A = this chain, B = another copy of it.
């Protein structure tokens, strides 16, 4: 049907199908006069942008790139499953690259994907990413881009995230309502927006509950918010603050590290010290005690980000105008034994 219409345009204008196809694609070797004639007739015949897509299909690679900071066993694995599920549905292939939380690697990976002429890029920024020239370069290449989780507010593209500040605020408010007053925060590094926002949420919850902020209660996780970070910081915090009654950790992995250390030295959780995580990863259910945490919808984040990217790839191909989307997915508190 669509091919028939393409042929119809060609026949009516007395030009070849190739010329019609080229005119619709905006090729420079077709005169502006012919282009205008083709476009006018296409409109008249209700030759919709969607059917243009069919003819442009040969230009697409049906492949996208996904850059993640790390391949972990928790959040990014879930994101990955969501991306793959959507990609399978929409018949796209996914090239996965890691930045290893390094800005230089991230730049290189973007270059590789642009050289590969992928149809679009999904990415979550590394902890080192503080300037965004390389990200803006993706946009300059007219390659559709969707950022998720660790996003840059200054980059003009669609973004899928959670409200990290609100989620952290809810977590710390929950701890305060349970009677905890001396709450440490094991925070992420200083660059990523989600790490900043979780810290700000912690801060605001204290403020709104008239608990003075004490910077000595904030411990940096400098090893990519790893299990070791939680373990080591727990070791420090119990010495520094013997009257501590709760820990709000930036990720489940950090929380699990903390629980491991507290278990090792015989501190009762949550009776002596409560521990609150962030992610709701599989391990939060199998550790003893089970981890109270924020439900961060990794699968949904991946699926949604991929879906928006595929839509934008197709809209751009069809020359349909669209606006970037800022999607904020819901989070909730998963109450378990640790807080």
Contact = CB atoms under 8 A, between A and B. Distances in A.
Contacts of A98: 84, 88
Interface string A245-261: 00000000000100010
Contacts of A112: 93
A95 B97 contact: no
Contact of A286 (B84, B95, B97, B260): B260
B95 A116 contact: no
Interface residues of A, number: 28
Nearest to A112: B93
A63 B95 contact: yes
A277 to B, nearest CB: 12
A297 to B, nearest CB: 16
B97 A96 contact: no
B84 A71 contact: yes
Given A283-B286, A286-B287, A96 B71 contact: no
A256 B72 CA distance: 19
A282 B93 contact: no
Contact of A94 (B81, B84, B96, B227): B96
A325 interface: no
Contact of A77 (B73, B116, B283): B73
A102 to B, nearest CB: 11
A201 B282 CA distance: 30
Copies of this chain, whole number: 2
Contacts of A94: 95-97
Contacts of A96: 84, 94-96
Contacts of A88: 98
Contact of A74 (B73, B80, B84, B260): B73
A5 interface: no
A137 interface: no
A288 interface: yes
A112 to B, nearest CB: 7
Interface in A65-90: 71-74, 77, 80-81, 84, 88
Contact of A95 (B73, B77, B93): B93
Contacts of A260: 286
Given A93-B95, A94-B96, A95-B93, A73 B287 contact: no
Instruction: Pick the 3 closest A-B CB pairs, nearest first.
Output: A73-B73, A288-B288, A93-B95
Given A93-B112, A93-B116, A286-B287, 16 more contacts: A63-B116, A71-B84, A73-B73, A73-B282, A77-B77, A84-B96, A84-B97, A88-B98, A94-B95, A94-B96, A94-B97, A95-B95, A227-B282, A256-B286, A282-B283, A283-B283
14 contacts: A63-B116, A72-B77, A73-B73, A73-B77, A73-B281, A93-B95, A93-B97, A95-B95, A96-B96, A227-B282, A260-B286, A283-B283, A287-B287, A288-B288
